[in-house]
C-alpha cells in the first residue's frame, strides 16, 4: 500500500493534482532545511497571530490614558515594555499596531504587484509602441525616490491610512512591471506559446493563462522581499504625521512621539523601533527562503 509520503514523492505522478501537491511538498522540504527562512516564517506568523488576536493578547487598552502611570520603565509590574508620555502601555500599542502594519502590507501586496505584473506582461508581449509607452511611464515613476513620491502623493491626497496605502501602492508597482516585462520577453517566442497561438488562443488568453503564471514565482519572491521596504515607508509616513492618525497606534507614529524623550526615556521610541526591525528582518529572511525554493535554478539543490 502506497503511503502518503511515497505518493507525494512519486517521480511519475499519475495526475496533475498529484504533480502540483508533490511539487509543493518538495518545496516545503527544501524550505524547512533553511533555519533562517524558518525563523522569518515564524516572525511573519507571529505578526499575523498578534494582529488577529490583539484584543486577547494585549494586557491593556492601547488608547486609554493614565497620567499617573506615565513614562514607567520596562519591567514595571503590569507594563513589560513600559509606558509612554500619556501612561499608555507600549506593549499593547505595539500589539495593536501590528494590525495597522499587516493591513498596509496586505493591501499593498494585492494591488501593486498585480498592477505591475499586468503592465509588464502586456508591454513585453505586445512590443512596439505599446511597450514604449508603458515602459516610459514606468521610467517616470522609477525616476523619483519611492519615499519622496509617497510623501508628495499623501500631501496631495491628505493624511490617513487609506491614502497612505494608495500612495505606497502607486510607488511600488514599477519594479514588478520591469521584472515581468523581462521575463515575458524570454517566453513570448517559446515553442509552447507558439503552439497555443496556433490553437487559436488570443493575446488576452495567452497573457493571462500562460505568460503571467510563468512570472508568478518571481513576483512572489519580490513581494516578500519588498515588504520590509513597505513597512519602512509606512513607518516613515507615520513618523511625519502623514500616515495613520491618532489615537490609532502605529509604530512610526510611536517613534515620532517618543523621540523627544529619547535621552531620558529611551524605551518610548526604542520599543516600536525594535518591532519594525524584527518584522522587516522576518520578511527578508522569508523572502530569501522562498527564493531558494521557487527559483528553478535551485530546484535540484
Contact (CB, 8 A) for 268 and 258: yes
Percentage of the chain with pLDDT > 90?
Answer: 36
| Separation of alpha carbons 30 and 45, rounded Å | 19
* Spans of the chain below 50 pLDDT: 1, 299-301
- pLDDT at residue 296 in the model: 52
- pLDDT at residue 295 in the model: 65
At the topology level of CATH, where does 100-242+271-298 sit? MetI-like fold (1.10.3720)
Cis peptide before 244 (omega within 30 of 0): no
pLDDT digits (tens, 9 = 90+) for 234-253: 898 888 888 888 888 899 99
Q: How many CB atoms lie within 10 A of CB 102?
A: 18
- pLDDT at residue 74 in the model: 92
Contact (CB, 8 A) for 30 and 291: no
pLDDT digits (tens, 9 = 90+) for 244-285: 888 888 999 999 988 888 888 999 999 999 999 999 999 999
Amino acid at each position: 500500500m502506497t503511503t502518503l509520503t511515497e505518493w507525494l514523492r512519486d517521480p511519475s505522478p499519475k495526475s496533475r493534482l498529484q504533480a502540483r501537491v508533490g511539487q509543493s511538498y518538495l518545496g516545503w522540504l527544501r524550505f524547512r532545511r533553511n533555519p533562517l527562512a524558518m525563523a522569518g516564517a515564524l516572525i511573519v506568523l507571529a505578526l499575523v497571530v498578534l494582529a488577529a488576536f490583539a484584543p486577547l493578547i494585549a494586557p491593556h487598552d492601547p488608547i486609554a490614558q493614565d497620567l499617573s502611570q506615565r513614562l514607567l520603565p520596562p519591567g514595571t509590574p503590569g507594563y513589560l515594555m513600559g509606558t509612554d508620555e500619556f501612561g499608555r502601555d507600549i506593549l499593547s500599542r505595539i500589539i495593536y499596531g501590528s494590525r495597522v502594519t499587516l493591513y498596509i502590507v496586505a493591501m499593498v501586496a494585492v494591488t501593486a504587484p498585480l498592477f505591475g505584473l499586468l503592465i509588464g506582461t502586456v508591454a513585453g508581449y505586445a512590443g512596439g509602441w505599446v511597450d514604449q509607452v508603458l515602459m516610459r511611464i514606468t521610467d517616470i515613476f522609477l525616476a523619483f525616490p519611492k519615499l519622496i513620491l509617497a510623501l508628495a502623493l499623501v500631501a496631495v491626497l491628505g493624511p490617513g491610512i487609506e491614502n497612505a496605502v494608495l500612495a505606497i501602492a502607486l510607488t511600488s508597482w514599477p519594479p514588478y512591471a520591469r521584472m515581468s516585462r523581462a521575463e515575458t520577453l524570454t517566453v513570448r517566442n517559446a515553442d509552447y506559446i507558439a503552439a497555443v497561438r496556433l490553437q487559436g488562443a488570443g493575446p488576452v488568453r495567452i497573457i493571462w493563462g500562460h505568460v503571467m503564471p510563468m512570472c508568478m514565482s518571481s513576483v512572489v519572491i519580490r513581494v516578500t522581499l519588498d515588504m520590509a521596504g513597505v513597512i519602512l515607508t509606512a513607518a516613515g509616513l507615520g513618523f511625519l504625521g502623514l500616515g495613520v492618525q491618532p489615537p490609532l497606534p502605529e509604530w512610526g507614529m510611536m517613534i515620532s512621539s517618543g523621540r523627544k524623550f529619547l535621552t531620558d526615556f529611551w524605551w518610548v521610541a526604542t520599543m516600536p523601533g525594535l518591532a519594525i526591525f524584527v518584522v522587516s528582518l522576518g520578511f527578508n529572511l522569508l523572502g530569501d527562503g522562498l527564493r531558494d525554493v521557487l527559483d528553478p535554478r535551485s530546484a535540484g539543490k
